[in-house]
């Protein structure tokens, strides 16, 4: 250990990271925690520091993951009780797992062609019945600008989209300015938006994976926004406990992190083995873990925990469906 960066002979009188004054007896800086060493960086030291941080037994990531998986509720309980330096920050840990999920999902989409082929079959069977613009404008499917203005907003919007869809089948015109002029529709921002979205629907039908990838890339932000709402319902369910809202939020983030981690494993197993029932097993494992986490974290009677478990599961499923709908339509609106 003479040439190790931990060796006494390499200790300095000042921290190289924060410039705090140190004694030779100080192995680490008392201000920032960095190792007190003046030894020049070598490849061995660099590799040792990198892999040591990843795989060391006392690594915070390892401890956090082990406690999260095998001791439901205990990670949250110890974190809110003050053991902050032992474990990874729950918000940061959640975002890291979310990133892994969406990378895995992106890889999966790049090799998935079944949906794309199905949509191509739909496109082939949706040829226009009209052979020219004049024929279309004389058909019952066409509405003039004046006729559309007499309709309600929703009815008018659906009619416009149908008209622009039929027009594009005939002309394949990419410019909204040209299309609206030929259809004798006013060139407003809303009409232009409808026409562009009609074209994008065609593109999505040809290549749905690109839209799904784009939508998935926005999901971390959407899910992150919905977690505080989930924590609010947990707080309302266990309002008589000594925990404040932020401590309920820590519990919710850890619960979602467990779901993300097990989902990543299930996704990988499904892609490798084709075993689709893995998602059903994931659902069972998640619910068992969630119940045990509630029981250990809040320490309430069994019947109370069961009632609140059922209530929160119902709320979480509703929020998940709501988030999915918002993410789909919101993503398409800005796609």
Tens digits of residue pLDDT in 34-77: 888 888 767 676 666 655 555 554 568 888 888 999 999 999 99
Q: What is the pLDDT of residue 25?
A: 87
CA gyration radius, the chain: 29
Tens digits of residue pLDDT in 130-179: 557 778 788 888 888 888 888 888 888 888 888 888 888 888 888 888 88
Q: How far apart are CA 334 and CA 322, in angstroms?
A: 18
- Give the Cα-Cα-Cα angle 107, 109, 114 (nearest 5 degrees): 140
* Of 18-27, 67-76, 196-205, 263-272, minimum mean pLDDT range: 196-205
Q: How far apart are CA 18 and CA 60, in angstroms?
A: 23
Q: What is the mean pLDDT of the chain?
A: 79
Q: How far apart are CA 134 and CA 226, in angstroms?
A: 50
Instruction: Compute how many other C-beta atoms are within 10 angstroms of the C-beta atom of residue 203.
Output: 12
Higher pLDDT, 2 or 9: 9
Q: How far apart are CA 218 and CA 227, in angstroms?
A: 15
* Of 8-17, 112-121, 300-309, 311-320, minimum mean pLDDT range: 112-121
Residue 138 tokens read as 């004389």
Q: What is the pLDDT of residue 126?
A: 45
Backbone φ and ψ for 175, nearest 5 degrees, come out as -90, 125
Does the pLDDT at position 252 exceed 90? yes
Tens digits of residue pLDDT in 287-326: 999 999 999 999 999 999 999 999 999 998 888 777 777 7
| Domain ranges across the chain | 1-50, 74-79+90-112+218-334, 115-206
Q: HSE-up of 196 (CA within 13 Å, CB side)? A: 12
Stretch 259-287: mean pLDDT, rounded?
85
């Amino acid at each position: 250990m003479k040439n190790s960066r931990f060796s006494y002979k390499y200790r300095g009188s000042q921290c190289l990271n924060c410039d705090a004054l140190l004694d030779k007896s100080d192995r680490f800086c008392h201000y920032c925690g960095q190792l007190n060493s003046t030894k020049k960086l070598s490849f061995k030291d660099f590799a040792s520091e990198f892999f040591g941080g990843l795989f060391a037994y006392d690594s915070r990531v390892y401890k956090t993951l082990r406690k999260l998986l095998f001791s439901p509720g205990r990670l949250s309980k110890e974190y809110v009780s003050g053991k902050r330096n032992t474990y990874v920050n729950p918000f940061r840990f959640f975002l890291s797992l979310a990133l892994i999920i969406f990378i895995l999902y992106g890889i999966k989409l790049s090799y998935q062609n079944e949906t794309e082929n199905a949509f191509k079959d739909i496109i082939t069977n949706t040829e226009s019945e009209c052979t020219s613009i004049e024929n279309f404008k004389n058909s019952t499917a066409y509405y003039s600008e004046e006729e559309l203005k007499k309709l309600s907003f929703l009815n008018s919007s659906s009619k416009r989209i149908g008209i622009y869809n039929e027009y594009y089948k005939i002309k394949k015109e990419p410019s909204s300015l040209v299309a609206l002029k030929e259809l004798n529709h006013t060139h407003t921002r809303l009409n232009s938006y409808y026409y562009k979205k009609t074209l994008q629907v065609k593109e999505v039908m040809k290549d749905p994976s690109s839209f799904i990838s784009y939508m998935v890339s926005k999901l971390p932000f959407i899910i992150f926004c919905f977690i505080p709402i989930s924590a609010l319902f947990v707080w309302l369910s266990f309002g008589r406990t000594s925990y404040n809202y932020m401590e309920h939020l820590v519990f919710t983030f850890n619960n979602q992190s467990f779901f993300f981690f097990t989902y990543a494993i299930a996704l990988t197993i499904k892609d490798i083995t084709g075993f689709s029932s893995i998602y059903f097993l994931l659902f069972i494992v998640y619910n068992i873990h969630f119940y045990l986490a509630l029981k250990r974290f809040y320490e309430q009677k069994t019947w109370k925990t069961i009632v609140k478990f059922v209530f929160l599961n119902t709320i979480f499923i509703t929020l998940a469906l709501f988030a999915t709908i918002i993410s789909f339509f919101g993503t398409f609106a800005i796609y």
